[in-house]
Amino acid sequence: MNEIVKVTWIDAQRLELGVIQKQELPDLKPIECDIVGFKVHEDKERIIIAQEKWDELFGCKYIHVIPKMSVIRITKLTEVKTGRTK
């Protein structure tokens, strides 16, 4: 079975707004992000999500490695049964 999940986590952000005044720095915060995809690995340090997956080739692409310490929540959306799994 392949689990499809939605992961919400806190991530860094890169701002290209020109000059940021020193007094504005305390207002800059990490952002909350979401991704939906196949959960291909999870352990105590990270969860790995693939947005494309091929069971026949045992491969995947568009991989996101999210540190567990940044995860707000993991929501299981569904399980998909496929022919072959590794």
| Domains parsed from the chain with CATH numbers | 2-12+29-79 (2.30.30)
**28 falls in which pLDDT band (50, 70, 90)?**
confident
Number of H helices, E strands in the chain: 0, 5
Percent of the chain at pLDDT > 70 equals 92
Q: What is the pTM of this model?
A: 0.77
Which phi and psi (to 5°) does residue 70 adopt? -95, -10
**82 falls in which pLDDT band (50, 70, 90)?**
low
Q: Determine the pLDDT at residue 15.
A: 75
